[in-house]
Structure formats: C-alpha cells, structure tokens
Amino acid sequence: MVLVVGADAGVVTEVLQRVGDEDVVVLDESAGRLESLLDALADPRLWFMIGDAVVIPLPDASADEVVGDPASPEVARVTR
C-alpha cells in the first residue's frame, strides 16, 4: 500500500500509474478535497482518509511507501 499525504490529483495520478495493482490511500484534512479527487479519479485502488500527517491513522509499518510530508515523524512509523 502507498500512502499519499495530500489530495493532489497530479501526485495521486502519478502514483497510480506506477504502482500497478497496489492500493493507494490518500490522506487529507479536507473532506471536500477528497470528494473532488474521488470525482476526478474514480479508481478501485484508491482509498480515502480524513486526517493529516501529524497523527496518521494507520498501524505501524503498514505502508510500503509514503508520498508527501516526509518531515512528519509519523511517516517513519507507518512506513515498512
């Protein structure tokens, strides 16, 4: 699973193009941005979570890769 911090359509599109069948979880603090992204990129590999990189609501070592906000200590915690 790849975690993308921030609902940037360009970044998410690039991630989807390179990850094959892997799931992509998009984390953003704005429900409106997530809804817009869902409307723009209807893809069965996409999952959406409301939140931010201060406290990422995922288990330890659950993401193969994290894209965006590398300065957050939570990134190290959730990355395998």
Domain ranges for the chain:
2-78
Per residue in 17-46, pLDDT (tens digit) is 999 999 999 999 999 999 999 999 989 999
> Within 5-62, where are the H helices?
9-18, 31-40
In percent, the amount of the chain with pLDDT more than 70 equals 100
Fold observed for domain 2-78: Rossmann fold (3.40.50)
The arithmetic mean of pLDDT across residues 53-76, rounded, is: 90
Looking at residue 68, its pLDDT comes to: 86
The arithmetic mean of pLDDT across residues 52-78, rounded, is: 90
**Residue 70: is its pLDDT beyond 80?**
no
**Residue 71: is its pLDDT beyond 90?**
no
Cα 33 to Cα 29, 72, 76, distances in angstroms = 8, 21, 25
